Amino acid sequence: MADLETKYLGLTLRNPLVVSSCEITSKVTGIRLAVDAGAGAVVLKSLFEEQINAELGGDQGFAGSAFPDEADLYMREMGKAHGPRGYVNLIEDARRAVDVPIIASVNCISTRWWADYARQIEGAGAHALELNIALMPLSLDETAEEIENHLYRIVRDVRAQVNLPLVVKIGPYFTALPRVVRNLADAGVNGIVLFNRFYQLDIDPVSLAPVPGYQYSTSSELHLPLRWVAILSSQVDTDFSVSTGVHTGMDAVKSIVAGAKVVQIASALYRNKIKHLSTILEELDQWLDAQGYASVAAARGRLAKAGKHKPEDLERMQYVKALAGAR
């Protein structure tokens, strides 16, 4: 059996499988099941900025709207019921219940409301803090630079307030993703999660109402984070975590050889039950043995070491090959 021990954000994990922020990690029972199935670490369900606002009795709602809609009211109710105080309890309970790193998560669009809470999260014993920064460009006037600067400002503000290892989860929709990732690393993050999977919007053709689209990913969605981790991991000095589309041991293998320190998993555990994590772990272990790697660390980033290290190899060449294949 290969040595699966993994260093991520300066923490020691028994293996590189991390359960992503989702409902499973919103309760100690789910966290225990995940750890029993083999999780190397868990990212707690996010505390939403709006929940903090609600607990503080703030009148700024979802996205700062002055006219609360359903989402706004939901967040306020959630905030009152499961706000930051409940979140601090969850961190403390999770720390007592399991012996793997507990990564707290905050979903934020500003730093206005939660400066104190970042410190409370640290005080409660979280091992690291993941920021899910969900900036949705809706204005016709806002420039890409303004949006990116807003992102860096959030990171710098939080970095100034907490000593915890800090990791940022971003979406894939940036024109110049390499530069954004490098700037985030320069702003002091210890790791970057590629990628957040945004709420999927669908439309009911009869009621013409927006409705939730399909909530869970498939393995086919792995290709996007895989490409970017392969391109960036040898160029930017930060810990990369792959999120979106990791469903099998081979998905984990591909992410690791592309350079990821860890993989994060959510949908696969909803589709196959939490114990599926042990199957993924077993497949990863079997692959390492079969390929003669004594440790997961030895396999990490092998794609770059195998000579496919120039970003253009991963982009243009693959595109050309795909076109040739299609013919």
Q: Would you count residue 215 as binding ligand FMN (CB under 6 A)? A: yes
Residue 103 contacts ligand FMN per CB under 6 A: no
- Please identify, using beta-carbon distances, which residue of 169 and 254 lies nearer to ligand FMN: 169
Tell me the site size for ligand FMN, rule CB under 6 A. 24
Binding to ligand FMN by residue 45, rule CB under 6 A? yes
C-beta closer to ligand FMN: residue 67 or 214: 214
Pick the piece of the chain touching ligand FMN (CB under 6 A) from 18-26, 78-86, 112-120, 317-325: 18-26
Is residue 21 a contact point for ligand FMN (CB under 6 A)? yes
- For position 25 contacting ligand FMN by CB under 6 A, the verdict is no
Closer to ligand FMN by Cβ: residue 80 or 271 = 271
Q: Give 249 or 293: the residue with its C-beta nearer to ligand FMN.
A: 249
Binding ligand FMN by CB under 6 A: which of 217, 233, 234, 238?
217
Contacting ligand FMN (CB under 6 A), which of 51, 105, 111, 233? 105
Q: CB-wise, 43 or 124, nearer to ligand FMN?
A: 43
By CB under 6 A, tell whether 127 contacts ligand FMN. Answer: no
Amino acid at 134: A
Contact residues for 43 (Cβ-Cβ < 8 A; gap 6+) = 18, 19, 20, 21, 25, 103, 104, 105, 130, 264
Q: Interface with ligand FMN includes 169 (CB under 6 A)?
A: yes
Instruction: Indicate whether 233 belongs to the interface with ligand FMN (CB under 6 A).
Output: no
Backbone angles phi, psi at 31, to 5 degrees: -65, -40
With b for 16 or more beta-carbon neighbours within 10 A and e for fewer, the 154-174 pattern comes to: bbebbbebbebbbbbbbbeeb
Give the shortest CB-96-to-ligand FMN separation in angstroms.
22
Shortest distance, CB of residue 254 to ligand FMN, whole angstroms?
Answer: 14
Nearest distance in Å: CB 316, ligand FMN? 27
Q: Which is nearer to ligand FMN, 22 or 274 (CB)?
A: 22
Q: Please, which residue, 2 or 134, has the CB nearer to ligand FMN?
A: 134
Residue 249 interacts with ligand FMN (CB under 6 A): yes or no? no
Residue 244 contacts ligand FMN per CB under 6 A: yes
Among the residue ranges 4-12, 77-85, 173-181, 241-249, the one whose residues contact ligand FMN (CB under 6 A): 241-249
Instruction: Give the chain as a 3 state SS string.
Output: CCECCEEECCEEECCCEEECCCHHHHCHHHHHHHHHCCCCEEECCCEEHHHHHHHCCCCCCHHHCCCCCHHHHHHHHHHHHHCHHHHHHHHHHHHHHCCCCEEEEEEECCCCCCHHHHHHHHHCCCCEEEEEECCCCCCCCCCHHHHHHHHHHHHHHHHHHCCCCEEEEECCCCCCHHHHHHHHHHCCCCEEEECCCCCCEEECCCCCCEEECCCCCCHHHHHHHHHHHHHHCCCCCCEEEEECCCCCHHHHHHHHHHCCCEEEECHHHHHHCCCHHHHHHHHHHHHHHHHCCCEHHHHCCHHHHCCCCCHHHHHHHHHHHHHHHHC
Is the CB of 225 or the CB of 259 nearer to ligand FMN?
225
Which residues would be at the binding site for ligand FMN (CB under 6 A)?
A: 20-23, 45-46, 105, 107, 132, 169, 196-197, 215-217, 243-246, 265-268, 270
